[in-house]
Structure 1
Amino acid sequence: MECPRMGQWLSLLLCLLLLLKAEGVAVPTTFVQSAVAKGAVCLDGSPPAYHFHKGFGAGINNWIVHFEGGAWCNNVTTCLARRDTRLGSSKKMSQTLSFSGFFSNGQKFNPDFYNWNRIKVRYCDGSSFTGDVEAVDPKTNLHFRGGRIFVAVVEDLLANGMKNAQNAILSGCSAGGLTSILQCDRFRSLIPAAAKVKCLSDAGYFINLKDVSGAAHIEQLYSQVVETHGSAKNLPASCTSRLRPGLCFFPQNVAGQIKTPISFVNAAYDSYQVKNILAPGVADPHGTWRDCKLDIKKCSSNQLTVMQGFRTEFLKAISVVENSPSKGMFVDGCYSHCQTGMQETWMRSDSPVLANTTIAKAVGDWFYERRSFSQIDCSYPCNPTCHNRVFDDN
């Protein structure tokens, strides 16, 4: 959004205020102290936390519960590395969090959801909110309780007004987007039956793919996450009855059986997956992929061919939800990751569009059933509206 040239200070001030509103509002932290007695705690034993921006007007009984992302920890060593950071302790989290895009309270920037109750749940367990191990080793003081956190947070929100929900959306970004897939039907079961409930996964459709060295890196990682956190009991039984639990961390083995309506917003060239699943550092010891991962425009022709192969595998994996009337899809041909929480990719004059539709419009149409939206973009670099990620060189 740009301010037009204006001669009067008042007009300029109003425009600047609009710009600030578009950038988001700072929302304070709420600590769920009641969760501690239930053992629903972060890796370090501190209480879980969320940021709650209350709804108003016609949206007073509508709720968005969004789970934050931040990858995973797959063993004691990697979980210890997170324990004393914001990804393992509510003591280390910032006191406020910015809300914009899907969470904006401005009608102009978020027309379908601006007046809803909007909650961002902080990520501090390392298991996409699936873990549940009773024992705590006193040597590490690591608590693997993500599944308990999920339930405790929802119960706390129910006690704070969500029990009167007319509409509710479970959403999440990245590892939180995976949460919104794995916990979708559980969320539906916890919300009053009279409410209309749907789920939205943003960049949470991680696929089971061998890396550029031919190793099954992500499959091994997920199996270790599930084992370390005791996640099996909180994964969909429709999957664990057929496959070993580690494979049930992959949406392609779960999504087709989800009963609650769900929609997927994902880049076909998901930048996190390219960097960490397709070409992780362990599979690229000489750094051949380094520049390509930082900026897709710097990829060689051979690397782009491999990336197109990734897209083919991604589309194959997500095909399990195609042609389902209760499931939506916005798969753009961009090099990006997490697009709903930023105003520039959610809804702005230059936002990414697919079938002439912004993500905001597609999600709103899907939720309110104004029309179904299940679209897959053409391959890179065909979409000129993409906001392709360029990462810092560090």
Structure 2
Amino acid sequence: MAYARLGQWLSLLVCLLILLKAESHPVELTLVQSAVAKGAVCLDGSPPAYHFDKGFGAGINNWLVHIEGGGWCKDVESCVERTKNFRGSSTKMEKTISFSGVLGKKQTMNPDFYNWNRIKVRYCDGSSFTGDVEAVDPATNLHFRGGRVFRAIIDDLLAKGMINAKNALLSGCSAGGLASILQCDNFRSLLPAGTNVKCLADAGYFINAKTITGSQQIEAFYSQVVALHGSAKHLPASCTSRLRPGLCFFPQNVIPQLRTPIFLVNAAYDSWQIKNILAPSVADPKGTWKSCKSGIKNCSPAQIQTMQDYRLQFLNVLNGGLTNSPSHGAFIDSCYAHCQIGTQETWMASDSPVVSKTTIAKAVGDWYYNRSPSKKIDCPYPCNPTCKNKEFDSN
């Protein structure tokens, strides 16, 4: 009897181990070696890369391409610094990673995309996949080739089956979310005419706002990025034909002209934007905002009011871009957060953030499959108790 019971326990343990392995299986890094000959390389000249988890069952001809985030570099010094880590070199990237959130393969946790071909594109060019400068300074060996990298990766995926895609979704987080906006129509043009193509930007709607001192910090920064990387030729022509290239790094100047349906997931109090657009250190030399930026609960009433004003500015800009097309959607929660679709707890879990009783995962799925209207705008902070508000080290 004891041996039989032990056998049952061992069988149960084996089943649990198999289940755990299935839920957290590593997804290997794929280097696109063929891209090197095209000059489509990371900042240090190494080949671009992605992680690919193949689709199965009914999702075998559906493709989700998700672009990693990680900021930008605006000058030679900051770009050289990126080559020392995975932000600028595929030689420094992890060989395997785990997928979760919108990339997860468990049906209960990602019901609309779990069985799709799911790809995480690694970000190693520092320009949101827009750069294209032929010359390489031998003193730095910096390659500004983000636009070429995007095309090379998409070509590689097309050759691996995406040419037969029935459904496709280009998504991204932060700088990757911006890339999914800037490359949205281009992505659609590279897929078969009959493919249902849409785009999803998470924390990628950076607005052209002034700092707390009234300076145009982010506008100047983006102009430097675009100039250094030679981004103009890979920014949407619908924008560059009207505005100078630096302004075409802002989604508010691109989305109104998009022909491809797009969905925006963003926190109204995006923690990156509060820290780097509204109250960057250069505009706060005395560090008055330091504690507030480390966690919204630390903010003074006056700082909260400034952030409320920023939220209204954000929503006004957002609404101006989305009203032109009923095919566009949005999920704007009132959280102090940045990037929410790649993490299971914020994408879809028992305690995930909700707006109008809807999780991000359900809102995105309803929009993609045209199940219901999908423009959900939250009430102002602190109205939403489901928020996962970020806290940062204030040192």
Please indicate the TM-score interval, normalised by the length of the shorter structure. over 0.9
More displaced 10-residue stretch of structure 1: 276-285 or 264-273: 276-285
- What corresponds to 1:128 in structure 2? 128
Instruction: Trace 1:316-335 onto structure 2 (pairs within 5 A).
Output: 316-323=316-323, 324-335=325-336
Query: What letter matches 1:307 in structure 2?
Result: M
In the TM superposition, what is the alpha-carbon distance from 1:18 to its structure 2 partner? 9.9
SS in 2 for 1:25: coil
- Provide the rounded CA distance (Å) in 2 between the counterparts of 1:204 and 1:42: 21
Deviation at 1:10, TM superposition (A): 7.9
Letter in 1 for 2:172: G
Aligned to 2:39: 39
| 8 A contact 2:346–2:360 mirrored in 1 | yes
The superposition leaves residues 87-131 of structure 1 with CA deviations (integer Å, 9 ceiling, x where unpaired) of: 000001111122001111100110111000000000000000000
Distance 2:241 2:207 in 1: 20
Q: 1:375: Cα distance to partner?
A: 1.2
Question: Contact 1:21–1:106 at 8 Å: present in 2 too?
Answer: no
Quickly say closer, same or farther: Cα 1:11–1:288, change in 2 above 3 A.
farther
Q: Could you tell me whether the CA contact under 8 Å between 1:22 and 1:109 is conserved in 2?
A: no
Quote the residue 1:306 is aligned against: 306
For 1:108-147, what aligned pairs fall within 5 Å after superposition? Answer: 108-147=108-147
**How do 1:255-334 residues align onto structure 2 when only pairs under 5 Å count?**
255-323=255-323, 324-334=325-335
Contact 2:45–2:142, Cα closer than 8 Å, also in 1: yes
| Mapping 1:34-113, distance limit 5 Å | 34-113=34-113
Partner of 1:4: none
Residue identity (%) = 70
The amino acid of 1:333's aligned partner reads S
Large movers: runs of 4+ above 4 Å: 8-24
Report SS of the residue matched to 1:330. strand
Contact kept, 8 Å, 1:22 with 1:104, in 2: the verdict is no
Corresponding residue number in structure 1 for 2:384: 383
1:201 aligns to 2:195 (yes or no): no
How far the C-alpha of 1:12 sits from its partner, in A, is 8.9
Matches within 5 A, 1:240-255: 240-255=240-255
Larger CA Rg, structure 1 vs 2: 2
Task: Compute the displacement of 1:285 (Å).
Answer: 1.4
SS across alignment from 1:63: strand
Secondary structure of residue in 2 paired with 1:329: strand
| 16 and 267 in structure 1: CA distance in 2 versus 1, 3 angstrom threshold | farther
Q: Secondary structure at the match of 1:206?
A: coil
Shift of 1:17: 6.0
**For residue 230 of structure 1, what is the amino acid of its counterpart?**
G
Distance apart, 1:26 and its partner CA: 2.1
The alpha-carbon distance between structure 1 residues 102 and 44, as it changes in their structure 2 partners (threshold 3 A), is same
Structure 1 equivalent of residue 339 of structure 2: 338
Structure 2: which 5+ runs fail to align? Answer: 1-7
SS at match of 1:288: coil
The TM-score normalised by the length of structure 1 is: 0.95
Contact 1:23–1:343 at 8 Å: present in 2 too? no
Structure 2: distance between partners of 1:376 and 1:123: 30
How far apart in 1 are the matches of 2:210 and 2:41? 34
For structure 1, the residue ranges without an aligned partner over 5 or more in a row are 1-7
Letter in 1 for 2:110: N
| Range that drifts further, 314-323 or 331-340 | 314-323
Q: Please, what TM-score do these two structures have when normalized by structure 2?
A: 0.95
Contact 1:107 1:114 in 2 (8 A): yes
SS at match of 1:168: strand
CA distance in 2 between partners of 1:259 and 1:18 (Å): 44
Counterpart position of 1:148: 148
Alignment pair present for 1:369 and 2:370: yes
Distance 1:344 1:165, change over 3 A: same
1:322 deviates by: 3.1
